[in-house]
Structure 1
Amino acid sequence: MFNRRKFLASAAALAASQIPAISRAQSDPLRIGMLSCKSGALASGGKQMEDGFALFLKERGNILAGRQVELIVADTGGQPALAKTRAQELIQRSHVDLIVGPVAAFEALAINDYLAEAKVPFLCSSAAAEDLTQRKLNPWFVRTSSTSAQPCHPLGDYAAKELGYKSVITIADDFAFGQEQTAGFQRVFEANGGKIQTKLWAPLTTADYGTYISQMSGVDAIFAAFAGANGLRFLKQYSDYGMKDQIPVISAMTTVDEGVLKSMGDEAVGIVSAGWYSAALPTKENIAFVDQLRKVTGVDPGFYSVGAYSAGLALEAALKATNGNTGDKEAFIAALKKVEISNDPRGPWKLDNFGNPVQNIYIRKVERKDGRLVNSVIKTYDQVSQFWNYNPEQFLASPVYSRNDPAKI
């Protein structure tokens, strides 16, 4: 005997069973795992990264492409081994859809192979290790900051051509980020007739830079590449030794990043640096961003907070392209790699074929305005590639930038 009620119930069950799993997954929360750093020399960067991403989510009511967002933050302690453990926990226990972060290059290098094997989208907001978008490509990796050397190539060009420097001593944190920044600056500076007299390397935990400062003489400028609070310590001690008025300092982006600039004084005034962002950019997007972040944190945004905010913009664009679906991971990462962002506080950018931004690099000068120190933009290099002006194939045929490559000539 025909039972209409049972028939309809069976038909409904069959239809439900045939709805693709990815469609049902779109109604689930989007679980984002963030690898941050809450202790050690890089803790300030971790805090800023969290602040930038939190502001992005707050502006959107914690909903992206119709999906509620669940953000799970894990502390790496700035340690590569712990970073890998935390990444494993986020994926295996928390079942996150993607990873955002981490702060440091050595952390990203420590987890990259694992995330590639696990096929988990890796949206790198800060860590700038060169080879992550060069010789050791992870098909699940996209970066929203830059390579270490990307801003330093233009700085080498500017130092030689416009500042007229002929000889420089470099000093940097002795880990991948500092080494690669120095190498990028050196390559372009020396290609334009400059000479690196000496390269000095300071451990990440250095507290007293006196022995390094005592070796600084007989050159036109000092190039300084530091992360976290190390730029603050070095510049203060450099000034205390009476060196500020003797040999000018030029620097990588993070040495005078807004995250530490707020704690600096006259020792920072006049320093020329290069970076893909400045809180002093006069665009409407940046003015609004700076205003909102100041309300939350009381300070200007910088490298880590903007990199994380940009990661949010890239994620949003990819989710819109896939109608909020992350269940089809191949389609999602393909959409992520195609994003072109026009409304970023830092200016427009798009990804190259290696998953790294092509973006404006700004030459900045520290000035005091309205009672605080700012990185005023004095020149813009438009849409700079991670390969600078070099042929990518030839660039990649050389070893990755390091302590000794390029060698001092």
Structure 2
Amino acid sequence: MNMKKLLAGAIAALSVMAGSTVTAHAEDTVKVGVVIPLTGGFQSNGRQMNAALKTFIATHGDTAGGKKVEFIVKDDGSVPDNALRISQELVTSDKVSVLTGFGNTPTALSVAQLSKRARIPQVIMVAATSSIMKASPYMLRTSWTIPQVASIIGKWAPENGAKKFVSIVSDYGPGADAEEWFGKTIEANGGTVISKLKVPLANPDFAPFLQRAADEKPEALFVFVPTGAGAAFMKQFVERGLDKSGIKVIAMADVTDDDLINNMGDPAIGVVTGGPYSANHDSPENKAFVEAFKKNNDGMRPNMVAAAAWDALDLIYKTLDKTKGDATGDAFVDAAKGIKIQSPRGPISIDPDTRDIVQDIYMRKVEKVDRELYNTEFQTFESVKDPAH
């Protein structure tokens, strides 16, 4: 279905709503539309997001701000057109007051104009491209941004034994952000990127790119691939013998995804990544989160997507508590600005100027803990804002 036609239809259907006083706060139930990729290329994200929702409701109940909160979950199949169509139906037919989910940048962006015109809060659980926040003043984000993480890795790496890099990134918005911000930060700190390689997002074959990288003889590879694709990258890294070449992997956290890391086996041990969360994060909040998550999801381990989804839901509840259940766009967003949450990943807040997340970023190393592989945090960069804003 044509995106322009969908968008035009959405805007037309919502024009009356946007121009009138929305009375979501006057009703007994606040409906929240959850648009997530349970199928398609980003389904590993959807699986974690859905599991986080299940865990959150089990531990927090279904009331906030004195009202019942009803979640309506829809699968967008990882497709932007689907996300827009579904979101339009949720707003016009199901009368949701808040939209959340969005497992990648294209789906989040596809709904931004709908959010803007209908004045519907759009709480981003995963999409990490920096610029999406400019697309709607009703957008809030609890995940992370690519520059927020890549710039920290670029600062850390030259100070810790690796200055000569080849970068390998997936060829879409977040990959471009990762390449740009790692490159400019490492060069500002005395390092260099001698070659920049882009891998197709759909059905990636890393082998030829790994061979080209090896031929450049760098000290290390900087890698960004979406959550879920890291296992394939590490498998091909080992198959080409690069694990024995002396070339280090210093990557975005998606590469050593907590949900999949045990399947990567011992070759992943020692891989260094930067990211906002590890299932091994040492705090009472995280211990309780991991325990509840495993209990409610057949022993499944949460990853950073699950932590971000959990925090999106926590933000929705805390905001509704502040507004006494008023979920109208301006009231909701104004109340969410500046909110502080003690998350399973550590302290986070919503920047009142950008509506984006401020959080600690961790440098982590894959280690074996109690016969399982974990990303062990060894250095913390506190209260990091997105440097691209």
TM-score > 0.5, shorter chain as reference: yes
Q: CA RMSD of the aligned region, Å? A: 1.6
Larger radius of gyration: 1
Tell me, in whole angstroms, the C-alpha distance in 2 between the residues paired with 1:36 and 1:156: 31
Contact preservation (8 Å) 2:129, 2:174: yes
What pairs with 1:2-401 in structure 2 (closer than 5 Å)? 24-25=26-27, 27=28, 29-133=29-133, 136-161=134-159, 163-217=160-214, 218-246=217-245, 247-297=247-297, 298-326=299-327, 328-341=328-341, 343-352=342-351, 353-387=353-387
Structure 1 stretches of 4+ with a deviation exceeding 6 A read: none
Matched residue type, 2:148: Q
Tell me, in whole angstroms, the C-alpha distance in 2 between the residues paired with 1:346 and 1:255: 18
Give the SS at the match of 1:318.
Answer: helix
Pick closer, same or farther for the CA change 1:159–1:238 going to 2, 3 Å: same
Pick closer, same or farther for the CA change 1:212–1:30 going to 2, 3 Å: same
Tell me, in whole angstroms, the C-alpha distance in 1 between the residues paired with 2:24 and 2:119: 17
Contact preservation (8 Å) 2:138, 2:329: no
Number of equivalences: 363
Deviation at 1:154, TM superposition (A): 0.7
Contact preservation (8 Å) 1:43, 1:228: no
Partner of 1:17: none
Give the SS at the match of 1:228.
Answer: coil
Identity of aligned residues (%): 30
Contact preservation (8 Å) 1:367, 1:376: yes
1:139-171 per-position Cα deviation (integer Å, ceiling 9, x unaligned): 10110011122111111111011x221210111
Tell me, in whole angstroms, the C-alpha distance in 2 between the residues paired with 1:23 and 1:69: 12
Pick closer, same or farther for the CA change 1:23–1:81 going to 2, 3 Å: closer
Q: Which runs of 5+ in 2 are unaligned?
A: 1-21
Deviation at 1:365, TM superposition (A): 0.5
Pick closer, same or farther for the CA change 1:234–1:361 going to 2, 3 Å: same
1:238-284 per-position Cα deviation (integer Å, ceiling 9, x unaligned): 11111012111111021112122132211211110011111111110
Contact preservation (8 Å) 1:126, 1:303: no
Q: Which structure features the higher share of helix residues?
A: 2
Give the SS at the match of 2:90.
Answer: helix
Contact preservation (8 Å) 2:24, 2:30: no
Partner of 2:11: none
1:50-87 per-position Cα deviation (integer Å, ceiling 9, x unaligned): 11122112212222233222111111111111211111
Tell me, in whole angstroms, the C-alpha distance in 2 between the residues paired with 1:32 and 1:172: 34
TM-score by length of 2: 0.90
Give the SS at the match of 2:106.
Answer: helix
Tell me, in whole angstroms, the C-alpha distance in 1 between the residues paired with 2:109 and 2:376: 33
Deviation at 1:180, TM superposition (A): 1.0
1:80-136 per-position Cα deviation (integer Å, ceiling 9, x unaligned): 112111111111111111011100011111211221111100011111121123xx2
Contact preservation (8 Å) 1:66, 1:324: yes
Tell me, in whole angstroms, the C-alpha distance in 2 between the residues paired with 1:340 and 1:359: 10
TM-score by length of 1: 0.85
Deviation at 1:23, TM superposition (A): 6.0
Deviation at 1:208, TM superposition (A): 2.7
Deviation at 1:176, TM superposition (A): 0.9
Contact preservation (8 Å) 1:52, 1:309: yes
Contact preservation (8 Å) 1:262, 1:299: no
Contact preservation (8 Å) 1:23, 1:325: yes
Tell me, in whole angstroms, the C-alpha distance in 1 between the residues paired with 2:45 and 2:109: 18
Contact preservation (8 Å) 1:171, 1:224: yes
Give the SS at the match of 1:262.
Answer: helix
1:199-221 per-position Cα deviation (integer Å, ceiling 9, x unaligned): 11111223432111111221010
Partner of 2:10: none
